[in-house]
Amino acid sequence: MQPRIEPDSTTGTIDIEQIRQDFPALHQQVRGKPLTYLDNAATSQKPKQVIEALSRYYSYQNSNIHRGVYYLSEQATAAYEAARVKAQRFLNAANPAEVVFVRGTTEAINLVASSYGRLVLQPGDEVVISAMEHHSNIVPWQLLCESVGANLRVAPIDTSGTLIISEYEKLLGPRVKIVALVHVSNSLGTINDVKHLVGLAKEQSAVVLIDGAQAAPHMPIDVQDIGCDFYTVSGHKMYGPTGIGVLYGRIELLETMPPYQGGGEMIRSVTFEKTTYAPPPAKFEAGTPHIAGAIGMGVAIEYLEQLGWDFVREQERVLLEYALERLATVPGLQVIGSAESRASVISFTVDGIHAHDIGTIVDQEGVAIRTGHHCTQPIMDFFGVPATARASFAFYNTVEEVDTLTKALMEAREVFG
Judged by CB under 6 A, the chain residues 192 through 231 that form the site for ligand PMP are 211, 213-214
**H or E stretch at 209:** strand 207-211
Asked if residues 190 and 184 have their Cβ atoms less than 8 Å apart, the reply is yes
Asked if residues 365 and 408 have their Cβ atoms less than 8 Å apart, the reply is yes
Residue 359 within binding range of ligand PMP, rule CB under 6 A: no
Judged by CB under 6 A, the chain residues 107 through 136 that form the site for ligand PMP are 134, 136
Alpha helices per DSSP H over 133-290: 139-148, 165-171, 194-203, 223-226, 251-256
Residue 186 within binding range of ligand PMP, rule CB under 6 A: yes
> Pick from 36, 105, 130, 162: which binds ligand PMP (CB under 6 A)?
105
**Interface map 136-175 toward ligand PMP (x if CB under 6 A):** xx--------------------------------------
Residue 146 burial class via C-beta count within 10 angstroms: exposed 0-12, middle 13-18, buried 19 and up: exposed
Residue 77 within binding range of ligand PMP, rule CB under 6 A: no
Quote the least distance from Cβ 215 to ligand PMP, whole Å.
8
For residue 85, give every residue at least 6 positions away whose Cβ sits within 8 Å of its Cβ, in sequence order, or none. 96
Q: Which of 30, 54, 251, 375 is catalytic?
A: 375
Mark the segment that binds ligand PMP (CB under 6 A) among 12-20, 61-69, 102-110, 389-397.
102-110
Catalytic: 145?
A: no
Residue 106 within binding range of ligand PMP, rule CB under 6 A: yes
Cα separation, 61 vs 217, in Å, equals: 28
Question: For the chain, how many residues are written?
Answer: 417
Of 284 and 353, which CB lies nearer to ligand PMP in the complex structure? 284
| Residues touching ligand PMP, count (CB under 6 A) | 13
Cα separation, 92 vs 80, in Å, equals: 18
Quote the least distance from Cβ 329 to ligand PMP, whole Å.
28
Residue 153's φ and ψ, nearest 5 degrees, are -115, 145
Sequential DSSP letters for 94-121: S-GGGEEEESSHHHHHHHHIIIIIHHH-
Of 82 and 375, which CB lies nearer to ligand PMP in the complex structure? 375
Positions that interact with ligand PMP (CB under 6 A): 104-106, 134, 136-137, 182, 186, 211, 213-214, 234, 375
Residues catalogued as catalytic: 375
